[in-house]
Amino acid sequence: MKMEDFVLVSVDDHLVEPPDMFKHHIPAKYRDLAPKVIQRADGTDAWVFEGQEATNVGLNAVAGRPPDEYGAEPTKFAEIREGCYDVHERVRDMNANGVAASLNFPSYPQFCGQYFARAQDKDLGLAVLRAYNDWHVDEWCGAYPGRFIPQALPPIWDPQLMAAEVHRMAGKGCSAVTFSENPEKVGYPSLHNEHWDPFWRACSDTGTIVNLHIGSSSSVVITSLDAPVDTMITLQPINIVQAAADLVWSPVLRKFPDLLLALSEGGIGWIPYFLERIDRVYTMHRAWTKQDFGDKLPSEVFLERIVTCFIVDSFGLRSRDALNLDMVTWECDYPHSDSTWPLAPESLAPHLDGMPDAEINKITHENALRLYQFDMFGKIPREQLTVGALRAQAGDVDLGFRSSERLKKTGTDTVTVLDLAAKLPTIN
Positions in the binding site for a second copy (CB under 8 A): 66-71, 182, 184-185, 190-193, 221, 223-231, 233-235, 237-238, 241-243, 245-246, 248-250, 267, 269-270, 272-278, 280-285, 287-289, 291, 312-316, 319, 322, 337-338, 425-428
For a second copy, the closer of residues 294 and 425 by Cβ is: 425
Strand order in the sheet with 52-54: 36-39, 45-49, 52-54
Find out whether 287 and 326 touch, Cβ atoms under 8 Å: no
- Least distance between a second copy and beta carbon 362 (Å): 21
User: Torsions phi, psi of 194, nearest 5?
Assistant: -70, -10
Q: What is the dihedral of CA 294, 295, 298, 301, to 10 degrees?
A: -100
- Least distance between a second copy and beta carbon 316 (Å): 7
Strand order in the sheet with 8-14: 148-149, 99-105, 8-14, 328-330, 306-310, 261-264, 209-213, 176-179
- Least distance between a second copy and beta carbon 322 (Å): 6
Find out whether 249 and 274 touch, Cβ atoms under 8 Å: no
Find out whether 250 and 261 touch, Cβ atoms under 8 Å: no
- Least distance between a second copy and beta carbon 372 (Å): 25
- Least distance between a second copy and beta carbon 385 (Å): 27
Return the bridge partners of 163, or none.
Answer: none
For a second copy, the closer of residues 51 and 425 by Cβ is: 425
Find out whether 8 and 365 touch, Cβ atoms under 8 Å: yes
For a second copy, the closer of residues 377 and 401 by Cβ is: 401
- Least distance between a second copy and beta carbon 171 (Å): 33
- Least distance between a second copy and beta carbon 283 (Å): 6
| DSSP per-residue string spanning 207-273 | T-EEEEETTTTS----S-TT--HHHHHHHHHHTTHHHHHHHHHSSHHHHSTT--EEEET--STTHHH
Residues present in the chain in total: 428
Residue type, 29: K
Is residue 274 classed exposed, middle or buried when 0-12, 13-18 and 19+ CB atoms within 10 A define those classes? middle
> How far apart are alpha carbons 68 and 196 in whole angstroms?
43
For a second copy, the closer of residues 42 and 292 by Cβ is: 292
- Least distance between a second copy and beta carbon 6 (Å): 20
CB half-sphere exposure, 351, CA atoms < 13 A: 22
For a second copy, the closer of residues 67 and 173 by Cβ is: 67
Pairing of β 209-213 and β 176-179: parallel
For a second copy, the closer of residues 321 and 396 by Cβ is: 321
> How far apart are alpha carbons 416 and 60 in whole angstroms?
23
Find out whether 64 and 399 touch, Cβ atoms under 8 Å: yes
- Least distance between a second copy and beta carbon 85 (Å): 23
The dihedral sign for the CA sequence 15, 207, 260, 256:
positive
Return the bridge partners of 274, or none.
Answer: none
- Least distance between a second copy and beta carbon 123 (Å): 30
For a second copy, the closer of residues 231 and 373 by Cβ is: 231
